[in-house]
Structures are given as C-alpha cells and as structure tokens.
Amino acid sequence: MSYKVLLTDDDEMVLISLEELLLAENIFDVATASNGKDAIAKARAETFDLIVLDIVMPGMNGFEVCKTLRGEKNTKETPIIMLTAKSTQADEKTGLDAGANKFLPKPTDPVTFVEIVKETLGAK
C-alpha cells in the first residue's frame, strides 16, 4: 500500500530532506508545498493520507492552515503533524487546539520522524 503525504515548509532544504526520508521507505508518495496557501490548494485538489505542516511560513502560518483544513470536508479527518521550530508548550497547545494530531519540534531525529509518520498512518 502507498500513502500520499503532503509536506509543507518554507525551507526548501527541509522539504527536500523530509521528502527523501519518506521516499526511501518505498511506501510514500510525496507532494510538497512551500507555503500555506499552496498547501490548502493542493489539499483541495488531491486526497492525502497525511499532511505535515510547519508553523512559521510567509502569508499564512501553520496554525491558520490547520484550522482551514479542519473546516474543509475532504481534510477534516486527515491526520496532521506539525513539525516546527516553534516548540514551546503554548505553541504545542495552539497547534493541537487548531486540530493537529501530533506536534513535533525541530530538529527531530530522522528515524523518529519516519516512525511517527508510519505510526500516525498505521503503516508498518
């Protein structure tokens, strides 16, 4: 089985790194977005099994994107992981309150990131 994952981060190197980590597992199809508006547009155009969001992005932050996605019919149940450098307890609470399923601080160990993605999807 293949899982479709949307990675959203304004740092191109982070996107490339995360994409390569997931593609190496041979069970993920990955799409990327470099800002919140693109992430919402892609999530409206395609169905994803998981969305990974950064918080600090130009234009629309990850909290706003998460709230928007939770209000949409096709993404209200899609698991969302926030992966961000904003890692205070207040940030985590805001992210979870916005509808994120999990909140991971950057930097996160690559192996841990892949394990959490798999766990969130119920993949082995």
Structural domain span for residue 14: 3-121
Pairing of strands 80-84, 102-105: parallel
Q: Residue 97 pLDDT > 80, yes or no?
A: yes
Domain count, the chain: 1
Q: Residue 123 pLDDT > 90, yes or no?
A: no
| Side chain identity, residue 73 | K
3-state secondary structure (DSSP) of residue 6: strand
Under the banding of pLDDT at 50, 70 and 90, the label for residue 22 is: very high
| Side chain identity, residue 29 | D
Say if CB 40 and CB 80 are below 8 A apart: no
Report the pLDDT value the prediction gives residue 124, as an integer from 0 to 100. Answer: 65
Reported as a single tens digit per residue, the pLDDT across 26-44 is 999 999 999 999 999 999 9
pTM: 0.95
Indicate which CATH number applies to the domain containing 44: 3.40.50.2300
Q: Mean per-residue pLDDT for 49-78?
A: 95
Q: Mean per-residue pLDDT for 12-35?
A: 96
Q: Mean per-residue pLDDT for 80-86?
A: 91
Q: What is the mean pLDDT of the chain?
A: 94
